[in-house]
Homo-oligomer: A and B are copies of this chain.
């Protein structure tokens, strides 16, 4: 079967390897979902996004399956789940370097950024309160500066 690679940055073999490393069974739906997430079009997808993209490629996967696959991926640490706008979840591959997000309130564009001093400060704050930092979410809501 010929699978359109969805403009993926990764070979099909590499994607299969991602699954095996995570101790996940290699199935057609999982490969298809990973191919979409790996595609270079954008990096944040809702379950519905993935569903529609696969529909358009005539590589349909049931929406319920997509939710189950994404949940498995998240559990395996392959994928991160975000709730930027609150109504629905967005997923992105986790293998990238850690980063936070900036969302433009005008264009709804998502920009990724990283700042070490903020990362470090977070750890310190958790420690101050007697906790260890497990994870965090930082989202900046911004607007283009008008001149």
Contact = CB atoms under 8 A, between A and B. Distances in A.
Contacts of A83: 83, 86
Q: How large is the interface on A (under 10, 10 to 19, 20 to 34, 35 or more residues)?
A: 20 to 34
Contacts of A115: 121, 125
B105 A129 contact: no
Nearest to A121: B118
Interface string A108-131: 000101010110011001110111
Interface in A61-100: 81, 83, 86, 89
Main secondary structure of the interface of A (DSSP, over half): strand
B113 A131 contact: no
12 contacts: A83-B86, A86-B86, A86-B89, A102-B129, A104-B131, A111-B129, A113-B125, A113-B129, A129-B142, A134-B142, A134-B143, A136-B138
A89 B142 CA distance: 21
A137 interface: yes
Nearest to A127: B145
